[in-house]
Structure 1
Amino acid sequence: MESRSLVVVSAGLGQPSSTRLLADRLASAAADALRDRGVEVAVEVVELRDLARDLADHLVAHATSPALRAALDAVAGADGVVAVTPVFAASYSGLFKSFVDVLDRDALTGVPVVVGATAGTQRHSLVLEHAMRPLFAHLRALVLPTAVFAAPEDWGGGTGGSTDALGGRVDRAAGELAAAVAARPARRPHDPFEDAPSFADLLSGR
């Protein structure tokens, strides 16, 4: 069976977090859709809340902690990415942008990405189009057509209304991600030493 990796980047600050809840729903639906296509999938979560101090240290002192390096490497080796942020000041959060700022500029080139956002009101839903989509387009990612926004009313109990609408958006976005990931060959994790000459070549003078 083929295998792919999905990385979930969640910038939620609370515990529990609606941002993380949306990210998990997208990742779970995408993983199910990939398995339906005969593709095994490993899902890894990058919780930015746990990396806040590491990101600050990196930006100020250029110090990269092992935890931050592992997160950056996970994104750089992902076959698909789910990226979800809370809305702050009508845009993505500063924590989310800080992580994007320290990514390698080529880390997401051509990688399928589903973007999502959460906020306290539906009035912020256009953040996905005026902020999130251009950000990942700048990184040359393959930003998928369906972006998913969730406000408090989307998490209501019962059936019908916005709850069903959110489920439909999640399923559609997850299907797009699964199709894009399955259509691409698996990414090989980048080895920074792959271009280094061998000791045999050095000793032979080549």
Structure 2
Amino acid sequence: MTARTIAVVSAGLGNPSSTRLLADRLGAATARDLGRGAEVRVVDLRDHAHDLVNNLLTGFPSPALREAIETVTGADALIVVTPIFNASYSGLFKTFFDVLEPGSVDGMPTLIAATGGSARHSLALEHAVRPLLAYLRAAVVPTAVFAASDDWAGDADADRTLADRIDRAAGELAAVVAGRPRARAADPYDEPVPFAELLARG
């Protein structure tokens, strides 16, 4: 069986970051369920913040950003994790998906996750993050994972509850990936977007 690649997009701003910590745990759990040979490739958006802004202004990615985009569009599965700000995903998270070419993640098995200060923000996964990925036509698995500050407090029950959510979501993603191969996306830069269309996008 061909080795599977899992792209993990983390939009955490801090270093260290609870968003990155959750992203790493989700990636590891999915790779474990997929079995031998599964590879996790992390895209830390914090490292590409300036390049993302420049891409919005010019329509062209830097070499580093292009590599990050190709990591995502060429993967067999996608895990996305964002901090929740003002009841929605972060601007950095949205900007990354704004620079992807249309159709880049069509049909891609995807797991959505988020972090926040309080469990009250968990609904942002369903009213903001899931609709965004559905609009992009990604195949989002049913279970979303939210981790609040209390989940990292070292309480055994809280850690076990979070671990259970991670295992369930990772299992769903792995099952989808193992069940049907995904056609590799074409290089989105093979046919550049016409300049007139770029101008029309504003």
TM-score scaled by structure 1? 0.88
Equivalent position of 1:97 in the other structure = 94
Are 1:180 and 2:176 an aligned pair?
yes
Q: Mark the runs of 5 or more structure 1 residues left unpaired by the alignment.
A: 196-206
| 8 A Cα contact 2:6 2:75, kept in partner | yes
Please name the residue that 1:149 is paired with: 146
Does the 8 A contact of 1:85 with 1:96 survive in 2? yes
Contact 1:48 1:96 in 2 (8 A): yes
Structure 2 CA distance, aligned partners of 1:43 and 1:12?
18
Aligned to 2:75: 78
Q: Give how far 1:171 is off.
A: 0.1
CA contact (8 A) 2:10 2:43 kept: yes
Confirm or deny: 8 A CA contact 1:153 1:163 kept in the other structure.
no
Q: In structure 2, what is the Cα distance between the partners aligned to 1:109 and 1:188?
A: 11
Structure 1 contact 115–128 (Cα < 8 Å) conserved: yes
Aligned residue for 2:2? 2
In the superposition, relative to structure 1, how do residues 191 and 123 fare at CA in structure 2: closer, same or farther (>3 Å)?
closer
Distance 2:45 2:89 in 1: 13
Judge conservation of contact 1:154–1:163 (CA < 8 Å) in 2: yes
Distance 2:189 2:126 in 1: 38
2:163 aligns to what? 167
Runs of 4 or more consecutive aligned structure 1 residues displaced over 4 Å after TM superposition: 191-195
Listed as ranges, the matches of 1:126-137 within 5 Å are: 126-137=123-134
CA distance in 1, matches of 2:155, 2:119: 20
**Corresponding residue number in structure 1 for 2:11:** 11
CA distance in 1, matches of 2:47, 2:189: 29
